[in-house]
Amino acid sequence: MRETPVFVGGPVGQLEALYLDLEGAHGVALVCHPNPVQGGTMLNKVVSTLQRTARDAGFITLRFNYRGVGSSAGTHDMGTGEVDDAEAAAQWLREKHPGLPLVLLGFSFGGFVAAALGGRLEAKGEKLKHLFMVAAAVMRLNEQTPLPQNCPLTVIQPETDEVVDPQAVYSWSETLERPHELLKVAECGHFFHGKLTDLKDLVLPRLSN
């Protein structure tokens, strides 16, 4: 099962993406990649792991490059622009597969993008099946970018993360009023070196239920 290169119409031009269709899928999964300024793309190995995990759980998948990354048009916005891009990608998936539930997965800066997109979609009356925030840039979330409130939320945080301060994520989790689960990955850095299997083992059963 290989992904197909596609282009998705975005708010500032086409977005480069990789799409995997599955017969009899349980849902659709959109995966958001890390910070473009730090070299983040849809080919990041954590993003690739999340995509394969969603595929193995029976989900149609789409991962994409934000504006200004790879062959995607435009330039980085480092904020709402990337969320706009993710919304266009989600819309593309929705139109292709109406009626299938949507899961959002985001890594690092992509965790912020997925969360912000989830809040935006929910505000428009759309239901989400699950939101996964992996080593997420939670410090970017605020009143202007609320989280979705009505879907399961799983926060996965490496305990020795050198990019996102683990304590900041734990503190953010403690102040979060909505139900969620916080999963800590011991002896693990931001990019899950040697721990990608652990990540898959945490995500797969939660996607499969």
- Quick one: average pLDDT of 193-205? 98
The radius of gyration computed from the CA coordinates of the chain, to the nearest angstrom, equals 15
Q: What's the confidence (pLDDT) of residue 32?
A: 98
Q: What pLDDT digit, counting tens, does each position of 76-108 carry?
A: 998 899 999 999 999 999 999 999 999 999 999
pLDDT above 70 coverage of the chain, percent: 100
> Of 89, 99, 113, 103, nearest to 40 (Cα)?
113
For the question of whether the overall pTM of this predicted structure is more than 0.95, the answer is yes
End-to-end CA distance of the chain: 22
38: how many CB neighbours lie within 10 A of its CB? 9
The CATH number of the domain where 182 resides is what?
3.40.50.1820
pLDDT in tens, 22-66: 999 999 999 999 999 999 999 999 999 999 999 999 999 999 999
Query: How buried is residue 143: exposed, middle or buried, by Cβ count under 10 Å (0-12/13-18/19+)?
Result: exposed
Range of the domain at 170: 4-208
pLDDT at 111 over 90: yes
Please give the tally of structural domains in the chain: 1
Tell me: the pLDDT tens digits for 62-75? 999 999 999 999 99
Residue 168 predicted with pLDDT over 90? yes
pLDDT of residue 209: 77
* Residue whose token pair is 């993008």: 113
Closest by Cα among 159, 146, 117, 139 to 32: 117
